[in-house]
Structure formats: structure tokens, C-alpha cells
Amino acid sequence: MTHSAPAVGPTPHPGTAHPDATTARIVAVVVTYNRAQLLGECLDALDSQERRPDAVVVIDNASSDASGTVADEHRIGADVVHLRRNVGGAGGFAAGIARALVRHDADWVWVMDDDTVPRPGALAALLHALEASPVRLSVLSSRAVWTDGRDHPMNTQRTRLDANAQEKADAARAGGRPIRTASYVSALLNGQDVRRLGLPYADYFIWSDDFEHTGRLLRHGRGLQVPSSVVEHRTVLFSNAQTNPGSRFYYDVRNRLWALVRTTSFSPGEKVLHGGRTLLGWAGQLLRHRGDLLGVGVRGLMDALRRGPRPSVQVLQMDAEVAADVRAIERAAGR
């Protein structure tokens, strides 16, 4: 499907009220890579929502299986973008969120991985919470469970530590709890805030792109985890992504350092807190894996110290249309 790109609108003031939840234009963004069956299940679930998205964007990360064909032929009629090379989840989400805003005029962007299967009321529950909230929200997040209904350890979200009594009461009134970051397994992003603050960094490739981006949106915004909005995260195993990361430990180290050292998405105190927790987690991993990860981690550390993430337009330049969408949003955000 081809869409003409409307001009990016004026940058809203941070205090601007969000669009009415009952009339807001919701665009779902799904990033896929070589998971044709799961992608089909994800799109089936989107098509079966009580309140369906107004449009669906699928970013096919140069899949070598039938994922692209599944996306093209699914009855939901998604706007499918076939990238020329695999730019990871981070690049896919940067491309997809930009397309949702530029070419579909989204008020809210509902992002998810291809192994996310929303239950029928998932989007309706997010919008109900949005409507019930007495304050403006920047990010709403679903409860992610595994296939057996247990809360998925990969998508645990902590309550915002500095939330005061009023903020907790506001969140409770909307049926949720205040959060500081969210997982892209299922997150509803305020389009106004993304236009103002920019897209996730495509250069992260995998891991911590959602941590940094939602951290940026929620540094001065409000976030809400909505337990009545449930999605299944159909990973192969019931485990945390860091349980046995292998070569991906490189991205864990590099990207977490990028997020904590090279951005203003977190306050100095938060950087110390997250940094301490991260170091303890890495120490535990190195002990469990008997040093197998040490060389990988050192390489991630050195690369994080050498440079920060490249501009997303540069990462996505092989796909001219995608790069143009990303450039439009990043320029409007002054990035």
C-alpha cells in the first residue's frame, strides 16, 4: 500500500491535552523478522480486537522466510514496508513509528513485536484507561504474560519510584500504576510527544531501545501500566532475555551505557540507580557463564565509550522512503 505523506504538524506544547480517546486515531506498528507463523497470529489478534486499530504498519526487517508474504496477504490490509536489510527491532520501530505519524497521521502509536499476541480487549482497555485518566499521559503499557498466563519475566515494569501520593492516586483512578519506562512488547505512545521528543535510536539494533525511548518520553511525562490490557508474549522459553544472552550481550552492554551515559532520558540519580542495578546484573551473568561473556562485554564497553549512536537517518539510508519519514520527525523534534 502506498500513502502520500502529510506535512508534519507544529510541535505541541508539553501541556497540550491528548486527543479524546474515543476519537483518537490509533495506528499499530509491528516489527517482524523471520517469524511468519507468529506474525500471522499477531495480525489475527489485531484484526480481532474489540476496538480495532485504525491502521496497521508492518515493518519487515528483510526476512528470508514467508513473513513478508504473510504481512502482504493478511486480511487486515496492513501498510507493509519491506526493508532492504535487517536493522533490528530498534531500526524497525524507528521506521514504523515515523511511518505511522507521517503517512497515517496517528494520534497514538501502538507498538509491538511480532511474537506479541494481544488478547481481544487489549487495545480497548488501554483506551479506557486513557479516557479515565485525570492527567495527560505519554505512554500506556499492557500486562505481558507468557502462553500459560504467568507474568513474563522479560517484560516486568517497575512502579515509578518518585511517584507521589497524588500521582499514584491519578494512576489508580485510571485503573493502573505509574511507570518510568515501558517495554515495546505492547506500548501505546502519544504521537504528540514523539513528534516533540523524537524517535527511538535505530542504531541500538536490539535491546534497550524501548528503555531509552520511553525513558525520554516519561522523563517529564506520565506513564501508566494497565493490567486489564493483556498481551501474550509468545517467546520460546519462559525466561528473561538476559538469562543466556550469548553474543547479544554486546548490545546489552553497549546500549545500556549509551542510554545512561549519552542521553538525558534519565536524571543523574536515576542513572546512578539504573547503573548500579545493571552492574550487579552483569556481574551475576559473568559469574554464571564462567567468563564466556567477558570478551563480548568488553567489546560492548569499548564501543560505547568510542562513540554514541549514529543518527537514525544514517542507519536507515538504504531505504529512501523510510529515511525521509524518519528525517521529518527528527527534524520536527530538533534532533
Domain boundaries, the chain: 26-241+309-332
Kindly tell me if the per-residue pLDDT of 288 is higher than 50.
Answer: yes
Predicted pLDDT of residue 238: 76
With a pLDDT cut of 90, the percent of the chain lying above it is 81
Q: What pTM was estimated for this model as a whole? A: 0.91
pLDDT at 17 over 60: no
pLDDT at 242 > cutoff 80: no
Spatial separation of the C-alpha atoms in residues 203 and 308, rounded to whole Å? 9
Determine phi and psi for 140, rounding to 5 degrees: -125, 140
C-beta separation of 316 from 322 below 8 A:
yes
Strands 177-178, 223-233: parallel, antiparallel or unpaired by DSSP?
A: antiparallel
Average pLDDT value for residue range 7-13: 37
Query: Could you read off the pLDDT of 146-199 as tens digits, one per residue?
Result: 999 898 888 777 789 899 999 999 999 999 999 999 999 999 999 999 999 999
* Confidence (pLDDT) at 282: 87
User: In which band, very low, low, confident or very high, does the pLDDT at 18 lie, cut at 50, 70 and 90?
Assistant: low
Q: What is the mean pLDDT of residues 219-232?
A: 96
H-assigned helices in the chain: 36-47, 67-73, 88-102, 122-132, 165-173, 191-197, 209-218, 249-261, 268-288, 294-306, 312-315, 320-332
If you average pLDDT over residues 47-76, what whole number do you get? 97
pLDDT of 13 higher than 50: no
6, pLDDT greater than 70: no
**Distance of alpha carbon 151 from alpha carbon 329, whole angstroms:** 34
DSSP 207-276: SSHHHHHHHHHHSSS-EEEEEEEEEEE--SSSS-TTSS-GGGHHHHHHHHHHHHHS-SSS-HHHHHHHHH
- 269 C-beta neighbours (distance < 10 Å), count: 10
Strand partners, 151: 145
The owner of cell 517495554 is 183
Mean pLDDT for the stretch of residues 214-225: 97
Rounded to whole angstroms, the Cα distance separating 119 from 50 reads: 9
- Region 26-241+309-332: CATH code: 3.90.550.60
Higher pLDDT, 243 or 138: 138
User: Cell digits for 279?
Assistant: 552492574
Determine the pLDDT at residue 243.
Answer: 62
- Decide: residue 310, CB within 10 A, 0-12 exposed, 13-18 middle, 19+ buried: exposed
- Asked whether residue 12 carries a pLDDT value surpassing 70, the answer given is no
Residue with grid cell 532475555, as numbered in its chain: 241
Residue 268 has pLDDT above 90, yes or no: yes
Q: What is the rounded CA–CA span in Å between residue 26 and residue 120?
A: 16
- Residue 2 binned pLDDT confidence (cut-offs 50, 70, 90): very low
* Average pLDDT of the residues of the chain: 91
- Specify whether the CB–CB gap between 189 and 109 falls below 8 A: yes
Where does the pLDDT of residue 272 fall: very low under 50, low under 70, confident under 90, or very high at 90 and above?
A: very high
Answer whether 15's CB lies under 8 Å from 46's CB. Answer: no
- How far is it, in rounded angstroms, from Cα 87 to Cα 223? 28
Per the DSSP assignment, residues forming a β-bridge with 226 are 142
C-alpha cell at 161: 519510584
Place of cell 498466563: 149
CB neighbours of 69 closer than 8 A, spacing ≥ 6?
36
The pLDDT of 249-276, averaged and rounded, is 96
The predicted pLDDT at position 113 comes to 95
Do the Cβ atoms of 97 and 325 come closer than 8 Å?
A: no
